[in-house]
Structure 1
Amino acid sequence: MINGDDLLPVSDEETQPHESKLVITKPYEDPITPTQNGSEDSNSLNENQQQQDEGLPSDASFIINLLSYEKRGEGINAYLVYKIASHVSNVPGYTRQSYEILRRFSDFLGLREKLVEKYQHSGILVPAAPEKSISALTKTKLNSADEEHNSNEVVDKRARDLQRFLRRISRHPKLVTDCDFRDFITMDGELPKAAFTSALSGSSMKKMFKSFGDVFSKIAFPMDENDRWFEQVHSQVDELDELMGRLLVGIDQLVLGRKGMTTGQDQFSKALSMLASCEENTSLARTLSKLSETHENLAMVGKHMTQEDSSILLETIQEHMALTNVLKEVFYERVKAWQNWQNQVQLLNKKREIKTRHELAGNTDRANQCKNELTDCENKVDQMEKDFQNMSNIIRKEFKRNCQQRREDIKEALLRYIESLIESEKQTLEQWEKFQHEVKS
């Protein structure tokens, strides 16, 4: 756990009457490498830029880091502020190369909601932001300064998730140039507060009821899928989601097992220390003391590996499971587009029948009026068909881009995790060799 005693530098306008100490003071590290020149992510982004013809330069780069966070206020008015630094090069819309801004958690949720409203209906994958947890909210608001240390683990994880969220957006050739994301990264001062980000807000309840309605609509009006590619992808995504869920359970058990082992090492070290203090034989007491110190150091190594298990493996899989759920949401947006198109086709057929009846009855005026309505309806049907085809093409590209990034991310996470394992084994071996040398001497 990273602690510090410096306050986060803020402007006079942003200073609140009650401020607490800074919890962390250095950038988070995670398996997601920021997009930059010469990296695999940069090459991947450039290929996607060429495929999607987004017009970004070939040497565009976007590096973003969440540097620190700070609790402000006390009691029910307490909240966290995150300091974000970004370095931008050759990305349209950004006038400077470096930015540093302060954002609240609700600002992240508001950004995600805006991007979803603008892009998800067209087939673009908008990365999922961390969910608003009532338990984490309660810990943030009600914990005293002495209790903050106990909740750091939850808050640190949220900070890493927020950094992943921003980096994922910065890797998308369309979202990185969006005006709302640009304002989020570049605008000084506070952003307008989004009312729908509250965990118990009326907008949240409406979204919940809307999701129920979408599920009912999906069951009641199933889509007649004629595209074999989408049939195969649906099966692949469901299978991938199931396999990643099993992997997540295994990693979670690994984290819990290593945490239990670390706790055991720490307790055993304390017991040995007490035994050494009671031992009358000086030589044996010294040996027990060295063994206690060895197990204490091994507990520290185990604690570090527990954090690596969680921050590298567990959170990487959790992020991509969230992206898989977003992909499913985009697939359903396509189903809704198809349903609207078919409803419009049915309406067109009804108008044709009405026009035919008026013509047979000799109602020329009503037939002409229906003819005009029929023309508008035909245009809507044609436009909906085009929109559906365009959306299907975008989803294909988004799916391929997501698969490519998932392979790169998991590969990089595994390599980093193996390096961390090797380093921890070296430290463990060093501790036992040092203890062996002390015992022999």
Structure 2
Amino acid sequence: MADSREPPPLFNDDKEDDNDDLFSSAVQSPVSEQTTTPEDQRSPEDPLTPPPPAASLTPEPHNPGTPPDLFESVAEGPVAVQGGSPKLSSVPLDLPAGGDGGEGKQQEVSLEEEGDEPDIFDTMSSPKLQLNQDTSEPPVPPSSILPPMGAPLTPPVVPITPTATPSLTPNITPAAPTPVTPVAVARSSPEQAEGDGGDEFIQITVSDPQKIGDGMSSYMAYKVTTKTNVSYFRKKHWSVMRRFSDFLGLHRKLVEKHLHSGRVIPPAPEKSAIGTTKIKLGSDKNADSGSLDFIERRRAALERYMNRTSTHPTLRADPDFREFVELDAELPRATQTSALSSAGVLRLLNRVGETVNKMTFKMDESDQWFEERTQQIESLDAQLRKLHASMERLVNYRRELALSTAAFAKATAVLSSVEEHSSLSRALHQLSESTERTQTIHHAQADADFYVLSENTKDYIQLISAVKDVFHERVKTFQTWQHAQITLAKKREAKAKAELAGRMDKVQQAQEEVTEWEGKVERSQEEFERISRAIKKEMEQFDVMRVKDFRDMVIKYLEDLMTSQQQIIKVWETFIPEAKAIS
């Protein structure tokens, strides 16, 4: 240790408590990291820096057994304030001879945070520094070191905000965090979305079937009402009149334009020659229940067909579809829609030919996705057909139950009329009326089962057939590609033979044919890849729509079933007092 004159102590304390607050003094500064001369460290404007000592500074010897301290500084000498902010470090200091540790004992002061200890100055905190104190000299009065009360400290001491780990970088004040204001997301109701045009929707209703004309030249017309917020439609709500052949003509146009592109076209209702003939020959006044049931069944099928077609973004934007729903005039007569016409016979023959082609040609599938989806479609078709058969039996059972209930009601009514006992006769009459009400409920439930379960399942069987048609269209595109490749190979072979034979007049023609078929092969390959991508996208939409439709179908069926059961319970609860009143 150098025998230089020690700087005066800042505080007249013989001992320092180890548990004192490390940030208890607002005027003390940490030891400089650099070993510089006191003249370089002292600022002439700094009232806190005492005069430099005469002796030179001698660093403490380093102990080889301990790791070097990166922030090690001299234990003696004045304290320098660099940059206006304190630096935190651990300083090895010598305790005085009369201290607790004995002669020449060093004590390492670690500058850590202790937020629980009181500060001397409430306005700020600074690291505490313990220096070697010489008790032989009298302490310097604080008035000669500290500025007058109320005067600003120079240089200004930057307050240190206690954190988990003290920052060792000088002159860095952490930026204040930017306050985050929570934003409330406004959720619009379906009515607001409909009015503002947020989500596009289109809803089509087919209603009011009317018979126009007499005899075999008559036809059925339906009122098609459209409600939408799609921008390319001229109105938001309107109605037009369309005949059944117009629906079939629309479907034929959509198939011709979009099937080869890989689009799944929802199938239109089938045309029944027997049902149509009965309607044409019958009169509106004497229409039997079978004709009315046929008309209602067709109306519901047309409505489902139009809504499924309108949900497809490509199909509803088609000019023919827009003309069908928007044109408030009679459409041109759709031709080739009759089941018994020559066009109908040609369509039947084409279907037979495509069926034979499906059975004879087997495509070597290279895409595993199409192989798996083909098997899934076949399995789904088989299971839906079984489900539809069981639903048909359920509908027939409920209708038979309604008929049997009606017969039971008539029998009890006759019995009540011949019964002589007054209370029993009254109870039998009440039983007959209650049974008639339950017969009406059973009949309504049978209709609900038919239109909610059976008809929707039948529509999906036909929709699966449309999906198969799309898959077969891809197979036909593959056949075209393969045919182009085979023809190209033959053209190249013919060119090679002409070159070997030296017939140069044939070589030029063969080269042109080779170039032409190379273009056809390239276009066929691009078409095959394009239709494959389109089918994958269509199947994604088909799966989403199928899940939604079956979910809605099951929910609607259960709601109708629960409603009918509650109505039956109320009927019999009303009859129980009459039965108990029999005496």
TM-score (norm 1): 0.85
Structure 2 residue 382 is the aligned partner of structure 1 residue 232:
no
> Matched residue of 1:197: which SS?
coil
Structure 2 residue 256 is the aligned partner of structure 1 residue 117:
yes
What one-letter code is carried by the residue in structure 2 that aligns with 1:188? D
- Bigger Cα displacement from structure 2, 220-229 vs 395-404: 220-229
Alignment partner, residue 265 of structure 1: 405
Aligned partners of 1:115 and 1:126 also within 8 Å: yes
Alignment partner, residue 432 of structure 1: 572
Alignment partner, residue 3 of structure 1: none
Structure 2 residue 275 is the aligned partner of structure 1 residue 147:
no
Aligned partners of 1:64 and 1:86 also within 8 Å: yes
1:129 to 265, 268, 272: 268
CA distance in 1, matches of 2:524, 2:494: 22
> Matched residue of 2:336: which SS?
helix
What one-letter code is carried by the residue in structure 2 that aligns with 1:312? V
What one-letter code is carried by the residue in structure 1 that aligns with 2:578? E
What are the residue-to-residue correspondences of 1:101-250 with 2, within 5 Å?
A: 101-150=240-289, 151-250=291-390
> Matched residue of 2:313: which SS?
coil
Computed over aligned residues only, the root mean square deviation of the Cα atoms, in angstroms, reads 1.7
Relative to structure 1, is the Cα distance of residues 306 and 344 closer, same or farther in structure 2, using a 3 angstrom cutoff? same
Relative to structure 1, is the Cα distance of residues 258 and 381 closer, same or farther in structure 2, using a 3 angstrom cutoff? same
Structure 2 residue 479 is the aligned partner of structure 1 residue 335:
no
- Bigger Cα displacement from structure 2, 114-123 vs 365-374: 365-374
Task: Report the Cα offset of residue 255 of structure 1.
Answer: 0.4
1:370 to 510, 520, 530: 510
Task: Report the Cα offset of residue 38 of structure 1.
Answer: 4.2
Structure 2 residue 212 is the aligned partner of structure 1 residue 72:
yes
CA distance in 1, matches of 2:360, 2:426: 76
Aligned partners of 1:195 and 1:201 also within 8 Å: no
Alignment partner, residue 8 of structure 1: none
- Bigger Cα displacement from structure 2, 279-288 vs 179-188: 279-288
Alignment partner, residue 17 of structure 1: none
C-alpha distance after superposition, 1:13-33 (max 9, x if no partner): xxxxxxxxxxxxxxxxxxxxx
Structure 2 residue 421 is the aligned partner of structure 1 residue 281:
yes
CA distance in 2, matches of 1:38, 1:346: 57
Relative to structure 1, is the Cα distance of residues 272 and 122 closer, same or farther in structure 2, using a 3 angstrom cutoff? same
CA distance in 1, matches of 2:230, 2:487: 49
Relative to structure 1, is the Cα distance of residues 146 and 272 closer, same or farther in structure 2, using a 3 angstrom cutoff? farther
- Bigger Cα displacement from structure 2, 357-366 vs 116-125: 357-366
What one-letter code is carried by the residue in structure 2 that aligns with 1:66? V
> Matched residue of 1:338: which SS?
helix
Aligned partners of 2:209 and 2:295 also within 8 Å: no
> Matched residue of 1:99: which SS?
strand
Q: Which runs of 5+ in 1 are unaligned?
A: 1-36, 43-56
CA distance in 2, matches of 1:67, 1:306: 21
Task: Report the Cα offset of residue 418 of structure 1.
Answer: 0.6
CA distance in 1, matches of 2:374, 2:338: 33
Alignment partner, residue 391 of structure 1: 531
What are the residue-to-residue correspondences of 1:271-350 with 2, within 5 Å?
A: 271-350=411-490
Aligned partners of 1:91 and 1:177 also within 8 Å: no
Aligned partners of 1:130 and 1:158 also within 8 Å: yes
Aligned partners of 1:127 and 1:323 also within 8 Å: yes
C-alpha distance after superposition, 1:61-104 (max 9, x if no partner): 11111122111222212211000100121343x12212211011
Task: Report the Cα offset of residue 143 of structure 1.
Answer: 1.6
CA distance in 2, matches of 1:212, 1:412: 36
C-alpha distance after superposition, 1:362-420 (max 9, x if no partner): 22232112212211111111011001111011111111211111110000110111111
Alignment partner, residue 166 of structure 2: none
Alignment partner, residue 38 of structure 2: none
Task: Report the Cα offset of residue 164 of structure 1.
Answer: 0.3
What one-letter code is carried by the residue in structure 1 that aligns with 2:415? L
Higher relative contact order (CA 8 A, sep 6+): 1
> Matched residue of 1:380: which SS?
helix
Task: Report the Cα offset of residue 161 of structure 1.
Answer: 0.4
What one-letter code is carried by the residue in structure 2 that aligns with 1:215? T
